[in-house]
A and B are shown apart, each in its own frame.
Chain A
Amino acid sequence: MSWYRPSDVGFSLRSQLADLGLGARLFVRLLMLFGRAFRRFGLIRDQIHFLGNYSLAIIAVSGLFVGFVFGLQGYYTLQRYGSAEALGLLVTLTLVRELGPVVTALLFAGRAGTSLTAEIGLMKAGEQISVMEMMAVDPVQRVLAPRFWAGVIVMPLLAAVFSATGIIGGWVVGVLMIGVDAGSFWSQIQGGVDVWQDVGNGLIKSVVFGFTVTFIALLQGYEAQATPEGVSKATTRTVVMASLAVLGLDFILTAMMFSL
């Protein structure tokens, strides 16, 4: 590929557009398969178990450590202004509005997204997708759609777990270790967190990230070259693209939510 030859540039552009078109068509198909996918809820339930339960440990442990760190950093900043009792509110708002959805999505991309890409890619390499098509079974409906909707369901649940364990981490450091007043810690949270403005914003973000990360993982697996090298590259692309998409979308969503 040379950038000074118009034919090469045109070919590259056309390939990128074709990939974009394929991706868009697959995304629309997955959305349209909502009803059919939920009619066989057992398939979605299995994937919720696979994607959710197996990600639970890493999400909970990460949330706890992030909470520990926020407890320490938050106290360090707030005590300068004599507002150490607002530590609970600071930790909670940061987690619920921002870090909960974002870090969960990044961890989900690394833990479950790569697993989805590798699974679909290896199914393709092992001709399991082809054999399904030859059995007159639509692989998008049978394999991709349950995983897609399971990912969308699981992401907000995991984000909630992350935020909850993070708040507990902040409480452990702030209240138990440093000695911030427990009543102030919890009452500031109770009084300062708005269900719609704060929890709602976080929920919307995590649902959007659920669509984004799961779709990227499935698309990369489905379009992977059916070779070990192809699957390996697709898995790497999942992490890179999903992480960038999450961070980019987070900025856009945050900007939109502040403007409302």
Chain B
Amino acid sequence: MAPSFSDPLVELRDLTFGYGERVILDGVSLTVPRGKVTALMGASGGGKTTILRLIGGQNRAQKGELRLYGAGGDHVDVGALDQEQLYAARRRMGMLFQFGALFAGLSVFENVAFPLREHANLSDGMVRDIVLMKLNAVGLRGARHLMPSEISGGMARRVALARAIALDPELVMYDEPFSGLDPISLGTAARLIRQLNDSMGLTSVFVSHELEETFQIADHVIILANGKVAAQGKPEDVRKSEDPLVSQYVHALPDGPVRFHYPGPTVEQDFGVAPAPLVPPSRQGAWS
């Protein structure tokens, strides 16, 4: 049973989405509480990034409703918006893509300035001040002149984060912000998500596979499996879950409800013989 929140920002109600006959999300219901940090976890291909894309209106669900709430409790169904309404809804969001997706031809400064120049009619001086403030928040004020090809992957994601918050959105979505980062960058990214959420009054949703960092910074954890919500709640409650699937994920077990072997013919069917022992009988005991 999904916990109810008095002040949700996003709510998925019985949402179904798939590509052709392949179902990714099967009647998923979940809530992203306003002002909190929500983590989406689960095995690869489980539909975490799809949820972010559905919230951003990049994909549309085949069934169900995706509500984006306003300050007064009013809401819109993101899946039913036309392009103009969708763009209006997206101005309330910022999204950090997995590898930053910086504009390769623009400097760090111009990347962060891009949404300001497109949407806000500000003087150059004002744009400069805002960009430097945002870059300062992610610790890269000094890197403003560099090009994306001159910065590391971790820095690129911080620049992308500064760009995502340039227009002071209500909701920031992060698609695997920790993947491929070294421990220092990973810790920095995790702290940034938490700090920015609290200092700017944001609502944050992030997709992650890093258990420790996620459980440290998240207020609310949702674990997806087989197209459904397997568990959700506070990090400590999810960690203690006795659900076999959640337990396998949280304790990183190689086999369990999520099988190690992809379904297919048996070994006997493929090779026509019983599986051979790893050590030939003649060599057994040779090491003992």
Contact = CB atoms under 8 A, between A and B. Distances in A.
Residue picked from A126, A127, A136, A142, most chain B C-beta under 10 Å: A136
Contacts of B118: 135, 137, 142
Contact of A127 (B86, B101, B114): B101
Interface string B84-111: 0011101101110111011110000000
Contacts of A9: none
B103 A128 contact: yes
Nearest to A137: B118
B56 interface: yes
A185 B102 CA distance: 56
Contact of B101 (A128, A138, A142): A128
Give the contact-size bracket for chain B.
20 to 34
B91 to A, nearest CB: 5
Interface of chain A: mostly helix, strand, loop or mixed: helix
A137 B115 contact: yes
Given A127-B101, A128-B101, A133 B115 contact: no
B91 A131 contact: no
A134 interface: yes
Contacts of B115: 135, 137
Residue picked from A131, A137, A142, most chain B C-beta under 10 Å: A131
Contact of A136 (B90, B101, B104, B160): B90
Given A136-B87, A136-B91, A131 B97 contact: yes
Given A128-B103, A128-B104, A135 B90 contact: yes
Give the contact-size bracket for chain A.
10 to 19
A134 B104 contact: no
Contacts of B98: 127
B105 to A, nearest CB: 9
Contacts of A133: 58, 90
B115 to A, nearest CB: 5
A131 B87 contact: no
A130 interface: yes
Interface string B74-86: 0000000001001
Contacts of A135: 90, 114-115, 118-119
A134 B119 contact: no
Contacts of B83: 138
B101 A131 contact: yes
Given A137-B115, A137-B118, A142-B118, A130 B90 contact: no
Given A126-B104, A128-B104, A142-B118, A134 B99 contact: no
B88 A136 contact: yes
B283 to A, nearest CB: 45
Interface in B47-91: 56, 58, 83, 86-88, 90-91
A134 B88 contact: no
Interface in B137-172: 160
22 contacts: A122-B104, A123-B104, A126-B99, A128-B101, A128-B103, A130-B97, A131-B95, A131-B160, A133-B58, A133-B90, A134-B58, A134-B93, A134-B94, A134-B95, A135-B115, A135-B118, A136-B86, A136-B90, A136-B119, A137-B118, A138-B83, A138-B87
Interface of B: 56, 58, 83, 86-88, 90-91, 93-95, 97-99, 101-104, 114-115, 118-119, 160
Q: List 4 A-B pairs, minimum CB-CB distance, nearest first.
A: A127-B101, A136-B87, A136-B90, A131-B101
